[in-house]
Amino acid sequence: MNSDSDLQIAGDILEVPHLLQAPREHPATVAEFAGLAREIAADRSQWVHLVRYDATTRWYHRLRTGPGYEVWLLSWVPGQGSGLHDHGPSSGVLTVLDGTLTERTARGTRALRAGAQRVFAPGYAHDVLNDTLEPAVSLHIYYPGLTRMPMHSQQCSAAVPRDAEAGAAPAV
């Protein structure tokens, strides 16, 4: 019999492989989606060569997809904006990669500079625009993938939404 205790642990309990979770192949939480956006933003070689600027319409490119989510790259020349909209049933992460974008919501206006992130839930209405003199680039992750983008009246953010075409390119 032991004098201190009959229970003894051999080895380091934290090294027991069956207690460790296997790393996930795809993000599954808001924090993991935000982390994916930061990871892509930090590795310019993944996206900078794809960016195009179009003065007649906002340019966009689907960068990647995964189970239930999409990652989009968008460029914004001075004066381009999304219009007031929400993302239907999709949640999202908006990350500014280059330049500055302005986000307008019913709660106010904020400048989003390179590195800024916004995480939003379904139904979050906003207008994003480039009101600077320099182009901007942003990354958008939607979960589930974007299938609806209801547009709202600019006069009132609480206006009844007008559905955008299903499957349309993302506003933001």
Residue 87 is labelled as binding a ligand: yes
H or E element: which one contains 31?
A: helix 30-42
Residue 140 is labelled as binding a ligand: no
Specify whether the CB–CB gap between 90 and 144 falls below 8 A.
yes
Residue 85 is labelled as binding a ligand: yes
Cβ within 8 Å of residue 8, ≥6 positions away: 2
Q: 49 to each of 12, 20, 52, 61, 63, how far by Cα in Å? A: 47, 38, 9, 12, 12
Position 150, amino acid:
P
Specify whether the CB–CB gap between 146 and 103 falls below 8 A.
no
Q: Which parts are annotated binding residues for Fe cation?
A: 85, 87, 126
Binding residues: 85, 87, 126
